Amino acid sequence: MVRLEDRRELLDAAGIARVLRRIASAILERNGGPDGLVLMGIRTGGVPLSQRLARLIAEAEGPAPALGKIDITLYRDDVFSGLPRPKVGPTELPGPIAGRKIVLVDDVLYTGRTVRAALDALMDFGRPRAVELAVLVDRGGRELPIQPDYTGLQVQTGRDETVKVELVETHGQDRVVLRRRLEDASAPPAGGREDR
């Protein structure tokens, strides 16, 4: 049996709001405004973050960028080995993505495998002009050569640690917590999805 122990809070509600404003501003600066942008939230944690970023961009520069949601379940490299009963969610696109600038949005970047799966899924819907990556937390530990273009917080974590993003939309509060795994020596190793 695996238990998680909160080690420390990395971001509170004000901290999350602050870094999202910074990311939204950087997206606008790099792209010269919101025209032609599509913010694509990776299910599940990236969806509410992409919606918040779209609102912040609209507040700063007028029209909100188009929004989409992408489910990567069937594109994961552990879909049949690490997930006991994979649940596939819908992918929602704001129209054709061919030739458009896509900003993938996720809550935590770890190994890079989730982002690789998102890129594979995205390409099945068309060939974007360019793809950028925005993450709330980059926790290091990359297994693939994937780096974010926009990062809210960078924190180095050990293999026995995990980062939990709680948002009002999903957990009733905003905070990011660093947790440590406490394993029961008599239990078999835990399976399932790690944060990315």
Closest CA to 102 of 138, 62, 52, 150: 150
> How far from 182 is each of 35, 52, 109, 196, CA to CA, in Å?
47, 33, 22, 19
What's the pLDDT score for residue 89? 78
pLDDT per residue as tens, the chain (196 positions): 567 777 899 999 999 999 999 999 999 999 999 999 999 999 989 999 999 999 999 999 889 999 999 999 888 776 555 555 656 778 999 999 999 999 999 999 999 999 999 999 999 999 999 999 999 999 999 999 999 999 999 999 988 899 999 999 999 999 999 998 877 555 444 444 445 5
Which three-class secondary structure state does DSSP give residue 127? coil
Domains of the chain, CATH where assigned: 16-160 (3.40.50.2020)
What's the pLDDT score for residue 194? 46
Residue 112's CB is within 10 A of a number of other CB atoms, namely 18
What's the pLDDT score for residue 5? 78
